Amino acid sequence: MTVVNMDAWLWWLIGAAVLGVALVVTTMPELGMLAVGALAAALASYLGGGLVTQVLVFAAVSTALIVVVRPIAVRHRSQRPQLASGVDALRGRQAVVVERVDGSGDGRIKLAGEIWSARALDAGASFEPGQQVDVVEIDGATAVVM
C-alpha cells in the first residue's frame, strides 16, 4: 500500500472543503467558520509555517470568527422580519373617505387601492368624503379609523 506524500496546505484545503460540505448539509454556521480557519491554516502552511504555526492559525482564526461572528448571526436569526403582510400591513396606513364614516360601520374608505367598509374608532366621531383617516385596526372586513 502506497501513501501519497502531500503538502500540508493541501490537507488543510481538503479539510476546509469537507467542512464546507458539512456546512451545506447541516446548515451549522460554525462549520463555515472552521472552514475559514482551515483555509487560513492552508495559507500559513503554503507560506512555510510549521505544523505548530498552522494549528495555532487554525485555532485563532476559527475562535475569533466564532466569538465575533456567531453572536451577530444569532441576533439576526432571532429578529422578526420587518415585512408586514395581509391585514398587518394595513394597520397605520392612511385612507381616503369615500362615503361618510361614523361609529355605525356603514361608511366606506379607499385603502391601498381597494374600497373597504369602515367605522370610526370613536363612536361620536364622523368623517366626510375626501377626508384622510388613519387605519387603527382591521376588524374582520371592516377598517377601524380615526
* pLDDT tens-digit map of 57-69: 999 999 999 999 8
Distance CA 97, CA 119 (A): 11
pTM: 0.53
Q: What's the count of helices (H) and strands (E) in the chain, helices before strands?
A: 3, 5
Determine the average pLDDT of the residues in 100-128.
88
